[in-house]
Structure 1
Amino acid sequence: MLASILSLSLGAAVASATNLFVSSYAGNITTLSLTASNGTYHIEKTYVNNGCAPNPSWLTLDANRGELYCLDEGLTVPNGSLSSYLVNPNGSLTQVQKASVISGPVNGVIYGRPAGQRYLALAHYSGSAVSDWALDTNGTGSFTFNQDLLFNLSHPGPNAARQDAPHEHEAILDPTGQYVLVPDLGADLVRVFCIDSDTGLLTAETPLSVSPGSGPRHAAFWNPAGVSCENCTSYLYVVTELANTVTGYAVSYPAAGGMAFEKVYESSVYGQLNLPSGNAAAEIAVSPDNRFLLISNRNNTSFSLPNPIPSNSTQIPSDSLSTFALNANGSLTFHQLWPAGGSFPRQFSLNRYGDLIAVGLQESSEVVVMARDVATGLVGMPVARVEIEGMVTSVVWDD
């Protein structure tokens, strides 16, 4: 295990520890403990659970209920799987249930009544599907099947190699909690589903069509007011993997039902900078302070970083993170391009304060924690990194 301690003058005076959960294609969920004391960080592995094997691709954490859901993509077997865990106080996991699902689940989101029945919607990349599962209301971590929705294409998209079939890549909840949206990389759509509040079943509404061949991968909502309100205008930002664009849409809710989208912004994920050949945009997220939009870029090797081992002078090749400032009219202002800490930042997540970013580096088989200046929105240098067995697919904070 490679674990480095790097100093950063953040003014922390009291030691504290935070757990993170990491999935990797080695078949494991790894618990990490990040400790901060007087501005110095230390990260280490504390537990490894292999119950989500063979190919964990995504983790969805319900921190309030102490439940973790792991999606197994099933790259080497006919089906994927969904596993549930109870999170123990020490960060270890107790597996509750494992069920076979349509192949290729790569993302999931919890929806439903906060104090009532909840559901988990899964996006299935290779299975060209969306499924949803009813979650037990008593905090046991168990779940039951609710629905499968299957999709097909009449012909391949403009990028035939990547758009041979529908490829659902993410499931997110809209700000009202009434709709689940699913970017479909293969069909160049963001699918929209209305939630039945009584049954949790999803009904397809008119989807958002994006530029042909762009390949929408992930998306994020933003409300300039920072709160949910009936008359507030919210925006949807869609990042495309094939065209490497970020597109902003003003969102409205017609009286007849469904969702409507008006395009208000579009640019390269590199802003005005030259986009490297082969770049593949991946994750997108709004900062906790509601002021910035961050995007991860893979396969560009735009930077190199000093090796964390003092005796090793070999530089670490690094892909990048893009930061945009969010403007009240839905437009974006390019703010920063910064090293992601290593190769193929498939996914990242910010802690609740927004001053740290955990980046899952698929090809580097590492998790790196980056400092972030909340006041300026600028990402800083790595403060901790640790090797993970297998290709890292996701990392989430339990804070």
Structure 2
Amino acid sequence: MATSYLLTGSYSSEQEPGIKLWEFEDGTGEMIELVGVPGIERPSFIAVHPNGTSFVATSEVGNGELVSYWIHPVSRKIMEINRQSSNGDHPAHVTIDETGRWLLSVTYSGATVNVHPLHSDGAIGELAHSVKHEGSGPNRERQDAAHPHSVIQMPGKNLFLVSDLGTDTISTYKMDSSNGELTFQYKVQTEPGAGPRHLCFHPTKPLVYSLNEINSTLMVYRISQEGQLEFLQLLPLLPDSYKEPNTSAEVAVSSNGRFVYASNRGHDSIASFAIQDNGTLENLGLTGSGGEGPRHFAVIPGNNWMVVANENSHTLAALKMGHSGAPCTVEQIVQTTAPVCVKVIK
């Protein structure tokens, strides 16, 4: 039976093993904890280096940090390499570019988009460049200021999309690969009060699927030759009959380019969609997330399993995919403190 390795981040204390390495058994969905790493507070998001030998985690606190680690899954070893300031409060997301030479991050409360060099040994260098977002949105509680929530590279291009929950915008930046400098290129405005959080790209087609946290919707964009986003479709992530509080969190596309998934916290579900030939989506329905507060999830290579980080129930749930492409049954559940990120080590 095939085995995969998973890394999870959490909203744990500095004394707890907030980062954990797991073995995932493809035949049964069993998750075995191999090693845990303490010494970092609230390691909420993880980016794995393209070579699979190191990763970076965000310490999502005020005056936060970016922390790099060396990893060797087979020998069950994780060792800290170094730390750098996140250049702002509450670093919420981090990305390593396709070359493995640059680390990009955003600070939710600091409203900064930052670039650090990554050295060949996995160490994070000094801050190379930073831009600061400004503005607000109509939701006074959630959109009092700019809140960049993610920075994600456009595949095959030196372009990065920043979803800003506070200003209802998705901004495109070009990075100079010689010095890490960011140059603003384009901006699209979502619906007022939508709160864009995360997005994902189709593996072969010029398509973007963008999740809005506050109003629980999903937007489909086509990418132009110049890298601009052209609106195609807006879909709800919840049934009209559901009136309780909900915030949507993560979105991902299957590696075969056939399905898109999104998580709902409150409704505690995974929404599934089939991708049509023109890139638009057909709703396949909702499946329980196997716990409470599904903040993040990962689709296991092969597209037979999904592992969901249910923050509020302190569980990881392994969901088996059905013939329709949607998760259909919860096969395994393991307890772990406030998991908020799941990454597959390639």
- TM-score of the superposed pair, with normalisation by structure 2: 0.93
Q: Is the 1:112–1:197 contact (alpha carbons within 8 Å) kept by the matching residues of 2? A: no
Post-superposition shift, 1:285? 0.4
Partner letter of residue 33 of structure 2?
K
Pair 1:96-2:81 in alignment: yes
**Aligned ranges for residues 1-399 of structure 1 at < 5 Å?**
14=1, 16-27=2-13, 28-35=18-25, 39-51=27-39, 53-62=40-49, 64-74=51-61, 78-88=62-72, 89-101=74-86, 102-113=88-99, 118-136=101-119, 138=120, 140-144=121-125, 145-153=127-135, 156-222=136-202, 226=204, 234-254=206-226, 259-270=227-238, 274-300=241-267, 319-373=268-322, 375-389=323-337, 391-399=338-346
Q: Is the 1:19–1:91 contact (alpha carbons within 8 Å) kept by the matching residues of 2? A: no
Partner letter of residue 35 of structure 1?
E
CA distance in 2, matches of 1:45, 1:276: 37
Q: Is the 2:29–2:318 contact (alpha carbons within 8 Å) kept by the matching residues of 1? A: no
CA distance in 2, matches of 1:346, 1:50: 21
Say which one has the larger Rg.
1
Q: Is the 2:199–2:208 contact (alpha carbons within 8 Å) kept by the matching residues of 1? A: yes
Partner letter of residue 354 of structure 1?
N
Report SS of the residue matched to 1:190: strand
Q: Which structure 2 segments of 5+ residues have no match?
A: none
Partner letter of residue 351 of structure 1?
I
Task: Kindly provide the CA deviation profile for residues 115-168 of structure 1, in whole angstroms up to 9, marking residues without a partner as x.
Answer: xxx1011021111111111111x3x11121211211222xx4110110001111
Post-superposition shift, 1:286? 0.4
CA distance in 1, matches of 2:37, 2:218: 36
Question: Percent sequence identity over matched residues?
Answer: 27
Partner letter of residue 282 of structure 1?
A
Partner letter of residue 278 of structure 1?
P
Q: Which structure 1 segments of 5+ residues have no match?
A: 1-13, 227-232, 301-318
Partner letter of residue 393 of structure 1?
V
Post-superposition shift, 1:104? 1.1
CA distance in 1, matches of 2:328, 2:339: 22
Report SS of the residue matched to 2:218: strand
Post-superposition shift, 1:273? 5.3
CA distance in 1, matches of 2:132, 2:51: 32
Report SS of the residue matched to 1:143: coil
Post-superposition shift, 1:23? 1.1
CA distance in 1, matches of 2:69, 2:128: 19
Q: Is the 1:285–1:294 contact (alpha carbons within 8 Å) kept by the matching residues of 2? A: yes
Q: Is the 2:52–2:345 contact (alpha carbons within 8 Å) kept by the matching residues of 1? A: no
CA distance in 2, matches of 1:261, 1:23: 31
CA gap of 1:63–1:260, structure 2 versus 1, over 3 A, is closer
Post-superposition shift, 1:396? 1.2
Q: Is the 1:169–1:185 contact (alpha carbons within 8 Å) kept by the matching residues of 2? A: yes
Partner letter of residue 265 of structure 2?
R
Task: Kindly provide the CA deviation profile for residues 323-369 of structure 1, in whole angstroms up to 9, marking residues without a partner as x.
Answer: 01111222110012101000000000111111111111110111111
Q: Is the 1:268–1:275 contact (alpha carbons within 8 Å) kept by the matching residues of 2? A: no
Task: Kindly provide the CA deviation profile for residues 209-234 of structure 1, in whole angstroms up to 9, marking residues without a partner as x.
Answer: 111111111111225xx2xxxxxx61
Q: Is the 1:111–1:177 contact (alpha carbons within 8 Å) kept by the matching residues of 2? A: no
Report SS of the residue matched to 1:352: coil
Q: Is the 1:34–1:43 contact (alpha carbons within 8 Å) kept by the matching residues of 2? A: yes
CA gap of 1:274–1:330, structure 2 versus 1, over 3 A, is farther
Q: Is the 2:69–2:122 contact (alpha carbons within 8 Å) kept by the matching residues of 1? A: yes
Q: Is the 2:83–2:124 contact (alpha carbons within 8 Å) kept by the matching residues of 1? A: no
CA distance in 1, matches of 2:157, 2:9: 27
CA distance in 2, matches of 1:214, 1:264: 16
- TM-score of the superposed pair, with normalisation by structure 1: 0.81
CA distance in 1, matches of 2:320, 2:50: 23
Report SS of the residue matched to 1:377: coil
Partner letter of residue 220 of structure 2?
G
CA gap of 1:128–1:222, structure 2 versus 1, over 3 A, is same
What CA RMSD, in Å, does the superposition of the two structures yield over aligned residues?
Answer: 1.8
CA gap of 1:67–1:193, structure 2 versus 1, over 3 A, is same
Partner letter of residue 264 of structure 1?
L
